[in-house]
Amino acid sequence: MFIIETYTLAVIFCVITMFAWGSWANTQKLAAKDWRFELFYWDYVFGIVVFAGLFAMTAGSTGDGGRPFLEDLSQADNASIWSAVLGGILFNAANILLVAAITLAGMSVAFPVGIGLALVIGVIVNYIDAPVGNATLLFGGVALIVLAILLNANAYRKLSAQQEKVPTKGLVLAVVAGLLMGLFYKYVANSMFPDFENPSAGKLSPYTAVFLFALGILASNFVFNTVLMRKPFEGAPVGFKDYFSGSRKSHVMGILGGVIWCIGMSFSILASDKAGPAISYGLGQGATVVAALWGIFVWKEFKGAPKGVGRMLNAMLLLYIVGLGLIIAAR
């Protein structure tokens, strides 16, 4: 299987993760305007599963290092399998709420608050499990990102006060999503053998872990998303008949969104061998900056905001960038 051999290449892969995780949500905005997020989300999940399977059968099955995908899958023990699947279930619960928050509050709010909170929790949890990197630099970067989250939340509060059409529910959903999102990566990382070049009996390769993680997302979606379709956060209930009546463009955008996100997840997991789970996850969650830039400058989500909000957003982005720089320097 393909393995990253240097820290520099691991950082490059984390940067690709950052752009993938920060850009996939654009596909939701590019789908039909009347295409509900619950329906979009089915295609998004299918995209994740398809890419995870193809990546495992190709990059995960070639090369001299590690263990080929099918051989690795056949020897996996139950504890490792269920750890990866549980990671998928936790991620799916969090991500459905995040997508709902994007629908209600926009990318420039949902990502900085939800993913920023997930970054803080994820870095702490993953560092406790695998303490790789300089703790002072790592948690100094996390502290700056916490300040950025608070600035963004305050900017959103000011916008909500002026525009009644922006519901506070979006901010609440982003916070809950962030609390859950910070936990999933730990379970995927724990399912894998620690040195990708030297497989351990029963443990998973990164490719097998991501594939089982994707299956966990798919299986749980039949519960989580079906419930949301019947009892949505906003609007009338929708059914599977509505899904099959969607346009080709809407379906393609959802699948593309899932593929883009899974590219980021796969690259982040591959980078964790040389960077350490805490740094790999934390740097990848720099997606917040990318998503905020999309939301602010492309989708104009803060257009017409009251005076002073622009300065808050600029300060938020600056704190995020400096915080991510400290996370990179931590190794």
For every one of its 331 residues, what pLDDT tens digit does the chain have, with 9 covering 90 and above?
A: 999 999 999 999 999 999 999 898 899 889 998 999 999 999 999 999 999 999 999 999 998 888 999 999 999 999 999 999 999 999 999 989 988 888 887 766 777 788 778 878 888 888 988 888 899 999 998 889 888 877 877 777 677 666 655 457 888 898 899 988 888 999 999 999 988 989 999 999 999 999 999 999 999 999 999 999 999 988 899 999 999 999 999 999 999 999 999 999 999 999 999 998 888 888 887 777 787 778 777 777 777 778 888 888 888 889 988 988 898 888 7
Rounded distance between C-alpha atoms, residue 228 and residue 244, angstroms: 17
Rounded distance between C-alpha atoms, residue 14 and residue 272, angstroms: 9
- 3-state percent breakdown (helix, strand, coil) of the chain, nearest 5: 75, 0, 25
Element (H, E) at 247: none
Rounded distance between C-alpha atoms, residue 145 and residue 163, angstroms: 27
Tokens 């966990």 appear where?
A: 216
DSSP single-letter state for residue 204: B
Rounded distance between C-alpha atoms, residue 236 and residue 232, angstroms: 7
pLDDT at 167 (0 to 100): 58
| Local structure of 192: helix, strand or coil | strand
Rounded distance between C-alpha atoms, residue 87 and residue 206, angstroms: 13
Q: Check: CB of residue 22 under 8 Å from CB of residue 285.
A: no
pLDDT at 165 (0 to 100): 53
pLDDT at 304 (0 to 100): 75
Rounded distance between C-alpha atoms, residue 261 and residue 17, angstroms: 8
Structure tokens belonging to residue 297: 């400058």
Structure tokens belonging to residue 33: 């305007």
Q: How many CB atoms lie within 10 A of CB 87?
A: 25
Going from N- to C-terminal start, the domains of the chain cover 7-329
pLDDT at 106 (0 to 100): 75
pLDDT at 65 (0 to 100): 84
CA 72 to chain centre: 25
pTM of the model as a whole: 0.86
pLDDT at 263 (0 to 100): 97
Q: Check: CB of residue 47 under 8 Å from CB of residue 259.
A: yes
pLDDT at 307 (0 to 100): 80
Write down the mean pLDDT value for the chain.
89
